[in-house]
Amino acid sequence: MTLNYNLLQASTFIGTKSGTTRTSVALPTSYNTTATKTFSTKGFSAMVLDVLYTVGTAETNNSVEIKVEDSLDGTNFYRLTNESSSAGTSTLTAREFTFVGASAGAYAFSYRLDITYPFIKISCKESGVAANAGTVYIEGVLGGQ
């Protein structure tokens, strides 16, 4: 089965891009407005996040954490969750996408998400920093019918 999206929109979510030059943002150690973007996804049903995470100089085993929230009205946001079940009981936990960089340098990865609500908020932070914070750049594609 092949998915066919009639509508594709490339977007820069966190950071900036001029031509092919990408400019990342410094990662904070807690979720705040520095590395956060809220945007409309109205008319789209899928999103691919392409992430460029650069671990700071002389750092090892640092991680970028990405929080995704959705909203019906663009004001009240709800965190995506994970579900685990045992003995008929489902447990929900706050979902966080974590990528660990083994050593200083750039790491590129991609992740696909389904979209239901007309607004999404993406926030990033970094853990494990001893002295040199890393950076992140996130672009991607929104797909819909």
The Cα 121–Cα 76 span in angstroms is 11
Task: Please list, in sequence order, all residues whose beta carbon lies within 8 angstroms of the beta carbon of residue 118, skipping any fewer than 6 positions away.
Answer: 40, 41, 42, 71, 72, 74
- Tens digit of pLDDT for each residue in 42-85? 999 999 999 999 999 999 999 999 999 999 999 999 999 999 99
Q: Which residue has the tokens 């089965």?
A: 1
pLDDT score, position 1: 46
DSSP at 43: T
For residue 8, pLDDT beyond 70 = yes
Whether the Cβ atoms of residue 59 and residue 102 lie closer than 8 Å to each other: no
For residue 109, pLDDT beyond 80 = yes
- Give residue limits of the domains in the chain: 9-14+27-144
Which two tokens mark 123? Answer: 């926030």
Q: State the amino acid at position 35 in one-letter form.
A: A
Residue 2 pLDDT grade (very low, low, confident, very high; cuts 50, 70, 90): low
pTM, 2 dp = 0.91
* Mean model confidence pLDDT for the chain: 94
CATH architecture of 9-14+27-144: Sandwich (2.60)
